[in-house]
């Protein structure tokens, strides 16, 4: 089967980059990415794309207006397409049954109903969003219940594994592509059609075909395993801090075992991003629904350790600053959930800011890629601040790291931006109040050099020798 036109519903972090790469690699296919948000589509059609992603500008510019279109005309794009990717958001439900754990599937259902309402020809519908197992069944049920004469649907699962900050490369050169579908002849035909798209640039042996439910579960399992590694090394970091072991040395030692592997063993102030917590909780909820409480409790610990790590780090900041941060100036370097993205969803910096605002600290925040309005939106969210007016009282956003450090008692590295490694820390030291503290939540700075300058340095998973600083005898917060 040859596909001439494809449509992608959802122009977000997944739909935009993945379909831009498809368009660039398949010049004979017309790719239309649609979204309900006029603002987002306007940005995709401008020089200022709605998300920062290295290499994305070039890919989009190379095919936008040729075989890549961004549009709010959802119905026309669906009607004309042979194949439709569903890339809408699947956030954690914050109300009703499964609140705080289950994925909210209302956007998936709305997309499926829209396809059913407007389609006049047969479609392959590809679920790319991350969903609970059996979501493809719900999509299929909605489509079949509303099917028009002569129209046929095949639903496939094709989860996305790209990571933000490396999205373009991840789609260009993935470890694997997963496709789940039915084993009957129509199912196989649909799987072949989707394989044909990917085979424009990905070797066939990297495309793994399986049943739909395995494919859906593999996505949740992959994210749960990745998050579990971070929580595991973060749990080890707590032992390191209590004993004098060094978590980076431990990670290096265990990572050289080829059965364990060296990736995703970087201890940190906690994982962030829109998916790890959401998908692990989704798995927890799935286990609960399947009456598997022990499995649910196991995966719940991955999220609990992440909360513990963030709180533990915040406590260490307060304790080190003589057990009070009230009215102290604290500079936060980095607000994105990781480097090379402007995305702040579930960023550890948000939670750290919350804990410090609860202690009435004054925050001076700098991030090279996150807009001021975005930081304020995160901090004034009702889950973070009960009284948003306190945010304007306690928080200032800065365009320059040196300005942000001016008059500060402490500086906290929350995001591992490369530029933080090469700042002029002599200059920063001069601008700060003494004793000047640095809390390296990402283990990226040269701690010995900072101690030499005169800083009091604290980091994750390691006790640092330091010049003595007077400590108060007030009770510890830990
Ligand atoms: N962000 C990431 O790095 C990754 C995300 N995923 C998964 O991909 C899915 C999408 O994630 P993101 O792209 O980050 O979300 P996003 O929130 O950036 O984008 C989703 C877009 O879908 C649009 N939308 C929602 N309902 C719609 C409808 N009925 N019709 C048209 N547009 C609609 C929204 O307006 C939004 O622009 C989620 O399930 C996520 O778990 C998977 C791999 C990586
Ligand atoms: O489903 C998704 O949304 C995606 O989730 C993650 O990608 P992403 O969240 O974009 O970024 P990661 O590189 O995985 O980082 C997630 C968080 O973990 C932190 N992290 C990562 C690695 C590590 O060793 N230590 C650590 O603290 C990062 O700083 C970040 O806060 C997965 O890596 C992708 O494969 C997946 O497709």
Contact 269, 306 (CB under 8 A): no
Q: Which ligand is nearest to the CA of 262?
A: 2
Has residue 219 got a pLDDT over 50? Answer: yes
- CA distances to 21, 27, 69, 176 from 63, rounded to whole Å, are 9, 8, 9, 25
Pairing between strand 456-459 and 437-440? parallel
Helix (H) or strand (E) holding 401: helix 401-405
**Can you tell me which residue has the tokens 């399992």?**
221
Angle, vertex CA 72, rays to CA 199 and CA 129, nearest 5: 45
| Nearest atom, ligand 1, residue 16 CA | 13
Report CA 424 to chain centroid distance, whole Å.
Answer: 30
Asked if the interface predicted TM-score (ipTM) of this complex is over 0.85, the answer is: yes
Contact 349, 334 (CB under 8 A): yes
Cα of 73 to ligand 2 centre, how many Å?
A: 33
Average pLDDT, the chain: 96
pLDDT digits (tens, 9 = 90+) for 89-112: 999 999 999 999 999 999 999 999
Share of the chain above pLDDT 70, in %: 97
Residue 478: pLDDT band with limits 50, 70, 90: very low
| Half-sphere exposure for 182 (CA within 13 Å, toward CB) | 14
Q: Is 35 annotated as a binding residue?
A: yes
Give the separation between CA 340 and CA 401, rounded to whole angstroms: 17
Q: Is 264 annotated as a binding residue?
A: no
DSSP secondary structure code for residue 206 in this structure: G
Q: Which ligand is nearest to the CA of 222?
A: 2
- The reported pLDDT for the residue numbered 2 is 79
Own/partner long-range contacts of 181-187 (Cβ < 8 Å, ≥24 apart): 181/154, 181/155, 181/156, 181/157, 181/209, 181/211, 181/212, 182/154, 182/211, 182/212, 183/211, 186/152, 186/154, 187/154
Mutate to test the pocket of ligand 2, among 16, 163, 171, 308 (most ligand atoms within 8 A of CB): 163
Cα of 128 to ligand 1 centre, how many Å?
A: 9
Give the separation between CA 75 and CA 71, rounded to whole angstroms: 10
Give the separation between CA 419 and CA 93, rounded to whole angstroms: 36
Report CA 421 to chain centroid distance, whole Å.
Answer: 23
Q: Is 14 in the pocket of ligand 1 (CB under 6 A)?
A: yes
Q: What are phi and psi of 391, to 5 degrees?
A: -65, -45
SS3 call for 146: coil
Give the separation between CA 357 and CA 347, rounded to whole angstroms: 16
Q: Is 181 in the pocket of ligand 1 (CB under 6 A)?
A: no
- The reported pLDDT for the residue numbered 435 is 97
Contact 8, 38 (CB under 8 A): no
Q: What is the DSSP string of 292-338?
A: -HHHHHHHHHHHHHHHHHHHHHHHHHHHHTTT--TT-EEEEE--SSS
Task: Say which of 26, 87, 240, 275 is annotated catalytic.
Answer: 275
Q: Which ligand is nearest to the CA of 224?
A: 2
Give the separation between CA 461 and CA 463, rounded to whole angstroms: 7
**Can you tell me which residue has the tokens 């975005």?**
374
pLDDT digits (tens, 9 = 90+) for 231-243: 999 999 999 999 9
- The reported pLDDT for the residue numbered 1 is 67
Cα of 282 to ligand 1 centre, how many Å?
A: 16
SS3 call for 29: coil
- The reported pLDDT for the residue numbered 459 is 97
Q: Is 88 annotated as a binding residue?
A: yes
Cα of 268 to ligand 1 centre, how many Å?
A: 26
pLDDT digits (tens, 9 = 90+) for 162-202: 999 999 999 999 999 999 999 999 999 999 999 999 999 99
Task: Give the number of residues written for the chain.
Answer: 478
Contact 276, 345 (CB under 8 A): no
- The reported pLDDT for the residue numbered 386 is 87
- CA distances to 57, 105, 219, 350 from 16, rounded to whole Å, are 11, 20, 19, 26
| Half-sphere exposure for 459 (CA within 13 Å, toward CB) | 26
Q: Across residues 351-372, what is the average pLDDT?
A: 97
pTM: 0.96
Has residue 473 got a pLDDT over 50? Answer: no
In the residue annotation, 275 being an active-site residue is answered as yes
Give the separation between CA 204 and CA 201, rounded to whole angstroms: 9
- Domains contained in the chain, CATH given: 5-210 (3.40.50.720), 243-478 (3.40.50.720)
Give the separation between CA 142 and CA 341, rounded to whole angstroms: 36
Among candidates 267, 264, 244, 243, which has minimal Cα distance to 255? Answer: 264
Distance between first and last Cα of the chain = 63
Q: How many CB atoms lie within 10 A of CB 192?
A: 14
Tokens matching residue 332: 């936060």
DSSP secondary structure code for residue 93 in this structure: P
Residue 477: pLDDT band with limits 50, 70, 90: very low
Give the separation between CA 232 and CA 226, rounded to whole angstroms: 10
């Amino acid at each position: 089967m040859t596909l001439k036109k494809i449509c992608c519903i959802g122009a977000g972090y997944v739909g935009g980059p993945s379909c831009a790469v498809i368009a660039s690699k398949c010049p004979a296919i017309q790719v239309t990415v649609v979204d309900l948000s006029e603002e987002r589509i306007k940005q995709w059609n401008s020089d200022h794309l709605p998300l920062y992603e290295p290499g994305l500008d070039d890919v989009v510019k190379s095919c936008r207006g040729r075989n890549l279109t961004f549009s709010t005309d959802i119905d026309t794009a669906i009607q004309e397409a042979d194949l439709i990717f569903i890339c809408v958001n699947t956030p954690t439900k914050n109300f009703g049954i499964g609140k705080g754990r289950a994925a909210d599937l209302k956007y998936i259902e709305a997309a499926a109903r829209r396809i059913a309402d407007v389609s006049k020809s047969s479609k392959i519908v590809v679920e790319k969003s991350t969903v609970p197992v059996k979501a493809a069944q719900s999509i299929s049920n909605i489509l079949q219940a509303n099917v028009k004469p002569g129209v046929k649907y095949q639903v496939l699962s094709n989860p996305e594994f790209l990571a933000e900050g490396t999205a373009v490369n991840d789609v260009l050169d993935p470890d694997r592509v997963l496709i789940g579908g039915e084993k009957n002849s129509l199912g196989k035909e649909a799987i072949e059609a989707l394989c044909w798209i990917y085979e424009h640039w990905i070797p066939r042996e990297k495309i793994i075909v399986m049943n739909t439910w395995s494919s859906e579960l593999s996505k949740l399992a992959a994210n749960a395993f990745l998050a579990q590694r971070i929580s595991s090394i973060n749990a080890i970091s707590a032992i390191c801090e209590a004993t004098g072991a060094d978590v980076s040395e431990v990670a290096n030692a265990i990572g050289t075992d080829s059965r364990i592997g060296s990736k995703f063993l970087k201890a940190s102030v906690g994982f962030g991003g829109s998916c790890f917590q959401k998908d692990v909780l989704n798995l927890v909820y799935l286990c609960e629904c399947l009456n598997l409480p022990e499995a649910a409790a196991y995966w719940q610990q991955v999220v609990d350790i992440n909360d513990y790590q963030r709180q533990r780090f915040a406590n260490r900041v307060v304790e080190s600053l003589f057990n009070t941060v009230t009215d102290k100036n604290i500079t936060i370097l980095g607000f994105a959930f990781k480097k090379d993205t402007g995305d702040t969803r579930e960023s550890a910096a948000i939670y750290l800011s919350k804990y410090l605002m609860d202690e009435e600290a004054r925050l001076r925040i700098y991030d090279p890629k996150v807009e001021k309005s975005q930081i304020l939106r995160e901090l004034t969210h009702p889950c973070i601040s009960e009284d948003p007016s306190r945010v304007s009282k306690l928080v200032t956003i800065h365009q320059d790291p040196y300005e942000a450090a001016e008059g500060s008692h402490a500086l906290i590295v929350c995001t591992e931006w490369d530029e933080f490694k090469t700042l002029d820390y002599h200059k920063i030291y001069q601008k700060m109040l003494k004793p000047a503290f640095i809390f390296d939540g990402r283990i990226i700075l040269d701690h010995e050099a900072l101690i030499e300058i005169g800083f009091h340095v604290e980091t994750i998973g390691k006790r640092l020798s330091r010049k003595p600083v007077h400590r108060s005898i007030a009770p510890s917060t830990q």
